Amino acid sequence: MPRILPLRSIRTIAVLAVTQIISWGTSFDMLGVLGRVMGPDLGLPNEVIFFGLSIMMLASALAGPATGRLLRRHGAARVLAAASVILAAGLLLLSTVHGPLLYAAAWVVIGIGGALGLSAPAYTAVIEREGMNGKRVIAILMLFTGLSATVFWPVLTLLDGLVGWRATFVICAGLQLLVCLPLYLFGLPKPSESLEQAKAAEIEPVTMSEPERRRAFFYMAAATSLSSFVSFGLAPSLIALLRQSGASPALALQLGSARGALGVTARFVDTVLGRRGNAILTSTIGTALTLASFLLAASFSGSPPMLVAFIVLYGFGTGVVAVARALLPLSLFSARDYGLQAARLSLPQNLANATAPVVFTALLDRVGATAALGVGALLSAISLGCILMLLGLVRRANRRSAEPYSVTARSLTSAR
């Protein structure tokens, strides 16, 4: 029976759920509704409009390491508050654009705001308040943040119909300044400051030498970036992949929609596990399921039962991995270092996210579904290999840490 969350944790989840839904909905998700409306007005092709998301991800990637240092120095609440101001500035700039240069500049600003305000800084805010016990809170928070498009696409559609896309961006900027900013500054509980929790925040879950720590970070960065490349790359083209694999238009739409529900279900399962979950083991299972989905689809394409099996394995696997990506730094580094390490990981992950949709779209359009499935399987296999090497490194480090206690126990036995 899951332990009931304290009021302090519920307050943290409530504040960050609202602000993350708004922040994702007014940045990464908004072109899904407004992109094809803006293009004709600006005289720009859809490819240029949607390239704004790649600019955002590249800017976020480059700002990632600096974000980690800011989180370590100033705390998550101040960094998140700064993100609201920067995102609002980018949205206001976007509402005034008339050409490609200013359009690209607006997405650079939004990308910097995203680095300071999306995912890693929010999870850091949780860890600052919950310590190593924040895993369950992060998993619960991710249940809500996964609904940002579900919440905001209807809202943006309604606003565009009422006031147009330019005024919609102004309203989105207002949400950042009038809702997110006050919640970050006054709604979040204060970070834990007890002596016991401060000491616990310094304890690393695995004792490793400096070379081992570097190798562990490399394995973790490679595994998470490859899994992110696959999930972000296929997300915009999933329906096209299903249709090329033999699904009817209606079935492809149904299965593509089911994928989101399966991802949320996977996050819910991880939430129920609570502190009993292990992020490295979860990553192994999720990546193995994703790999199995690609191998199955590539080997037995065309039949509806196979496509259903593919989407079940793929949806559940990528949903599990999404939670694990957020929690992996806690498996290796102290709670105090979480923000720094998570922000460092965002550099390769966001670079992967910026390029992946272009790569998978090109594969589908120029080579076909089998090639896209093969690349997905190859990248998933490499990611799984990195996770297994990380698991072996952690086990050796834990075994080495336990040896002095074994030696002491044998010495006491001999003395008796």
Higher pLDDT, 180 or 331: 180
User: Looking at the predicted structure, is the pLDDT value of residue 372 above 70?
Assistant: yes
Structure tokens at 261: 């529900």
Structure tokens at 114: 């995203």
What CA–CA distances, in Å, run from 216 to 35, 132, 220, 351, 358? 40, 19, 6, 20, 29
Nearest 5°: phi and psi at 4?
Answer: -70, 135
Higher pLDDT, 3 or 316: 316
Mean per-residue pLDDT for 291-303?
83
What was the pLDDT predicted at 407? 45
What CA–CA distances, in Å, run from 104 to 67, 111, 160? 21, 10, 21
One-letter amino acid for residue 406 of the chain:
S
Tell me which DSSP letter residue 300 carries: S
User: Looking at the predicted structure, is the pLDDT value of residue 412 above 50?
Assistant: no
Higher pLDDT, 68 or 83: 83
Least confident of 27-41, 181-195, 244-258, 374-388: 244-258
Give the pTM. Answer: 0.78
User: Looking at the predicted structure, is the pLDDT value of residue 233 above 50?
Assistant: yes
Structure tokens at 402: 């336990």
What was the pLDDT predicted at 14? 93
What was the pLDDT predicted at 345? 86
What was the pLDDT predicted at 409? 46
All structural domains of the chain: 7-200 (1.20.1250.20), 204-406 (1.20.1250.20)
pLDDT-based confidence at 200, cuts 50/70/90? Answer: low
CB 342, CB 123: distance < 8 Å? yes
b/e 30-64 (16+ beta carbons within 10 angstroms → b)? bbbbbeebbbeebebeeeebbbbbbbbbbbbbbbb
Nearest 5°: phi and psi at 184?
Answer: -65, -40
For the chain, how far is it from start to end, CA to CA, in angstroms? 44
What was the pLDDT predicted at 165? 95
Q: Cα 267 to the chain's mean position, in Å? A: 12
User: Looking at the predicted structure, is the pLDDT value of residue 56 above 70?
Assistant: yes
pLDDT-based confidence at 332, cuts 50/70/90? Answer: confident
Higher pLDDT, 23 or 199: 23
Higher pLDDT, 330 or 110: 110
Residues 6+ apart with CB under 8 A from 117: 19, 23, 79, 80, 83, 84, 86, 87, 180
User: Could you report the per-residue pLDDT of 237-284, keeping only the tens digit for each?
Assistant: 777 788 887 877 778 777 776 776 676 676 666 666 555 557 888 889
pLDDT-based confidence at 181, cuts 50/70/90? Answer: very high
Mean per-residue pLDDT for 326-343?
80
Dihedral, CA of residue 254, residue 259, residue 262 and residue 264, to nearest 10 = -120
What was the pLDDT predicted at 201? 53
pLDDT-based confidence at 1, cuts 50/70/90? Answer: very low
User: Looking at the predicted structure, is the pLDDT value of residue 205 above 50?
Assistant: yes
What was the pLDDT predicted at 142? 81
Q: Cα 339 to the chain's mean position, in Å? A: 14
User: Looking at the predicted structure, is the pLDDT value of residue 326 above 60?
Assistant: yes
What was the pLDDT predicted at 408? 44
CB 326, CB 360: distance < 8 Å? no
Nearest CA among 16, 18, 227 for reference residue 138:
16
User: Could you report the per-residue pLDDT of 156-167, keeping only the tens digit for each?
Assistant: 989 999 999 999
Structure tokens at 84: 């609201």
Structure tokens at 265: 């279900």
